[in-house]
Structure 1
Amino acid sequence: MNPLALVYRGPASLPGCPEAVAELLESSSHGFEVQFTGPDEEVPLCKSSLSAATLYAQPGGGRLSYAYRKLRRHHNDIRSFVWSGGRYLGFCLGAYLAGATPGFGLLPGDTDRYIDTEDSAFDHADDTVVAIRWRGRRRKLYFQDGPVFLLDSPDVANVLATYSNGMAAALVAPFGTGHVGVVGPHPEATRDWYTDSGLRRPILRTGRNLGLDLVDAVMGR
């Protein structure tokens, strides 16, 4: 039986974000059966549904404080799922939610807004394209006010990507017997995300490959 990946879709996400994450997971080599979970989905977000899953993905969305209010009753279930060997995958807002202020407290540290960090490439929250280094190679990805990751120690996570100021843009870290994979930019972004924002799009295949690299890393490959 194929491993089950649950992708959150509901008020703590924005239209198009869950679907892009689902497409990314479906294109991976792990053979996921992908289902949406949330308050209006056939699969509820609860301890029982998480226990049947291998991976839970939290896509992008709007404001962190609003999203956490919608999800905080699932705080313990999500933490228990990962602690017991599950995989958590967070994109932008989903990466913020892996932090602690507020969030599920899955990271060995916390998150902050990239645009508020010293020597960030820009200081606005508008949709844009950000330059990062992913495994040492310069890449460009869709970006909308995503996080940086503030680690308690440099040895507690596998940093896959950094922003131009050297701060972590994507990483994988252990939590209990499970793993957490988070990314500030959007490697899952589809063509319409760029065109709707009036942005010149990089090669989409490159972004997709980086997203698949993150999936592989959180799955232990």
Structure 2
Amino acid sequence: MRETWAGLRRSAAALAVATAVLVATACGAPPSADERGEDGGGAGARGGTPGAVLPGNSPLALVYRGPAACDGCPEAAHDMLEHDGFTVRYIGPKEETRFGPDALAGAALYVQPGGTNGQEVTTAWGLLERDRGFSPELVRAYVRGGGRYLGLCMGGYLAGEDPGYGLLPGDSGQYIRSQGAAVTDDQDHLVDVAWRGHPQRMYFQDGPYFDVDGPDVDVLARYTNDRAAAVVASYGAGRVAVSGPHPEAPSEWYRDYGLSDESHTGLGLGEDLLHALMGTPANPIS
């Protein structure tokens, strides 16, 4: 992954140097990573700019972990991101890195993972809003200023409007209630999608579709009823990627629900989604 991320690292490093010259007195120390990149960030997550990189030349991703996420969802996102060359830390009410004015400033990417089975979008949003220091505008301002947002399943719903961050040029909706949906209940399934025109099967549990339009919208995947399943779009100077199915789903998720294991395929699709989001080259989907 070192060569894959080289362009991102060079541009991020140049931006970080320029920013340090302009606002050196306002910046904290750059974040330091432990071997696994799971130390929570603490004060080291403050300062810098969206797209900053760590001393080991890997971009920093902050993954939400808290009551608005399901058990195992932040960890699955962590593993997918780490597999693709990120240093990953968690942000949330019980993590060392917590929401606040500077919490996202040193991150290349903020990730909103999946939610608990059966959890309403309004419930997840309410749990986020109870987190001291959190506000939707913190995330919006981060992305608008050049940051990146990745929303997986519940995180895709929350990229939409009311309730949500309002990061999409459109909105999210419940796929299982859409006309012609191939899956019509909230149980765990494999769902068929066309990813860049190629048929794929992905882990799915009551994920969203995306009703979006605009010149800077890239629909990477569609469900069989032609609803958008994975999208990358611009928001201000930043970018947003959302997926209704779970590319990050590990083997045990498939095994637990008696599904054919598509985790290796999912990782490849997740890599494509991440590279489209970050603007770095990825391997072709076949």
Match among 133, 136, 140 for residue 79 of structure 1: 140
Report the TM-score, using the length of structure 1 for normalisation: 0.95
For 2:242, what is the secondary structure of its paired residue?
A: strand
Instruction: Please tell me whether residue 195 in structure 1 is matched to residue 255 in structure 2.
Output: yes
In 2, Cα distance between equivalents of 1:101 and 1:144: 21
Q: How does 1:103-142 map onto structure 2 within 5 Å? A: 103-142=164-203
Alignment of 1:1-221 (within 5 A): 1=55, 2-28=58-84, 31-62=85-116, 63=119, 64-72=121-129, 73-151=134-212, 153=213, 155-202=215-262, 204-221=263-280
C-alpha displacement of 1:65: 1.0
Aligned-pair distance for 1:47?
Answer: 2.5
Which has the larger Rg? Answer: 2
Contact 2:169 2:214 in 1 (8 A): no
Which consecutive unaligned segments of at least 5 residues does structure 2 have? Answer: 1-54, 281-286
Q: Given residue 151 of structure 2, which amino acid in structure 1 is its aligned partner?
A: G
TM-score, with structure 2 as normaliser: 0.74
Q: What do the CA deviations read for 1:106-157 (whole angstroms, capped 9, x no partner)?
A: 0000011001111110211111000000000000000000000011x35341
- Aligned to 2:97, the other structure's residue is in SS state coil
Which amino acid counterpart does residue 237 of structure 2 have in structure 1? T
User: Where in structure 1 do 4 or more consecutive aligned residues deviate above 6 Å?
Assistant: none
SS in 2 for 1:201: coil
Aligned AA (2:269): L
Shift of 1:200: 2.3
The structure in which a higher percent of residues are strand is: 1
In the TM superposition, residue 46 of structure 1 has moved relative to its aligned partner by 2.3
- Total equivalences in the alignment: 217
Query: Which one scores higher on RCO, CA 8 angstroms, separation ≥ 6?
Result: 1
Letter in 2 for 1:69: G
**1:101–1:110: 8 Å Cα contact kept in structure 2?**
no
How far 1:71 sits from its partner (Å)? 1.9
What percentage of residue pairs aligned between the two structures are identical? 48
Worse-matched range after superposition: 66-75 or 160-169: 66-75
Q: Conserved in 2, the CA contact under 8 Å of 1:6 and 1:36? A: yes
For residue 70 of structure 1, report the CA deviation from its aligned partner: 1.8
Any conservation in 2 of the 1:171–1:182 contact (CA below 8 Å)?
yes
Alpha-carbon separation, structure 2, partners of 1:78 and 1:155: 23
